[in-house]
Amino acid sequence: MESLTCASSHLAPRPLQGASALPQVKVSYTVVQSALSKALRGERLSFEDGVNLYHSPDLLELGAVANELNLRKNGKDVYFNVNRHINPTNICALSCKFCAFSRKPGEEGSYAYSDDEIAHRAKVAADSGATEIHMVGGLHPRWKLSNYTNIISTVKAAAPHVHVKAFTAVELDWLARKERKPVAEVIAALRAAGLGSFPGGGAEIFTPYVRELICDTKLTGEGWLDIHRTAHKMGLRSNCTMLYGHIEDVGARVDHMMRLRGLQDETGGFNVFIPLAYQPENNELGINRHTFGVDDLKTVAVARLMMDNFRHIKSYWIMTGQRVAQTALHYGANDLDGTVVEEKIANMAGSKSGMQMAKSNLLRVIRDADRIPVERSTVYEPIRRYDNPAEDALV
Ligand code: V47
Ligand code: SF4
Q: Which residue has the higher pLDDT, 52 or 27?
A: 52
Which residues, judged by CB distance below 6 Å to any ligand atom, belong to the binding site of ligand 2? 92, 94-96, 99, 101-102, 138-139, 170, 215
Residue nearest to atom 2 of ligand 2 (CA): 138
Separation CA 367–CA 354 (nearest Å)? 21
- Measured distance CA(303)–CA(275) in Å, rounded: 9
Q: Name the residue among 307, 218, 314 with its Cα closest to residue 259.
A: 307
**Portion of the chain with pLDDT greater than 90, in percent:** 90
* Residue 72: strand, helix, or coil: helix
Nearest ligand, CA of residue 283? Answer: 1
To the question of domain 75-394 being in CATH 3.40.50.300, the answer is: no
- DSSP E strands: which ranges in the chain? 4-6, 25-27, 77-81, 83-86, 132-135, 163-166, 195-197, 238-244, 270-277, 312-313, 335-338, 372-376, 382-385
3-class secondary-structure state, position 225: helix
How many angstroms separate the Cα of 144 from the Cα of each of 40, 89, 148, 158? 49, 13, 7, 22
Average pLDDT value for residue range 111-127: 98
Q: What is the pLDDT of residue 87?
A: 97
Atom of ligand 1 nearest to the CA of 238: 6
Whether residue 89 contacts residue 112, with contact meaning beta carbons closer than 8 Å, is answered with: yes
Residue 18 confidence (pLDDT): 42
Q: Note whether 289 and 280 are within 8 A (CB).
A: yes
Closest C-alpha among 201, 200, 179 to residue 190: 179
Alpha helices in 115-249 (DSSP H): 115-127, 145-158, 169-179, 183-193, 208-214, 221-233
379 has pLDDT over 80:
yes
Report the predicted TM-score, pTM, of the whole model to 2 decimal places.
0.95
Burial class (CB in 10 A: 0-12, 13-18, 19+), 229: middle
CA 364 / ligand 2 centre spacing (Å): 34
Ligand found nearest the CA of 243: 1
Write down the pLDDT at residue 20.
56
Q: Is 345 in the pocket of ligand 1 (CB under 6 A)?
A: yes
**Nearest atom in ligand 2 to 168's CA:** 2
What are the distances in angstroms from CA 49 to CA 2, 83, 252, 273, 318?
16, 36, 13, 19, 29
Beta carbon of 99 within 6 Å of any ligand 1 atom: yes
Determine whether the shortest distance from the Cβ of 69 to ligand 1 is under 6 A: no
Q: Using pLDDT thresholds of 50, 70 and 90, give the confidence band for residue 269.
A: very high
Say if residues 297 and 340 touch (Cβ distance below 8 Å). Answer: no
How large is the average pLDDT for residues 362-384?
A: 97
Q: Among residues 282, 276, 201, 208, which one has the least CA distance to residue 246? A: 276
Task: Name the average pLDDT for the chain.
Answer: 94
Is 264 touching ligand 1 by the criterion CB < 6 Å? Answer: no
Residue 15 has pLDDT above 90, yes or no: no
Mutation choice for ligand 1 from 205, 247, 276, 341, CB with most ligand atoms inside 8 A: 276
Least confident interval from 274-283, 327-336, 386-395: 386-395
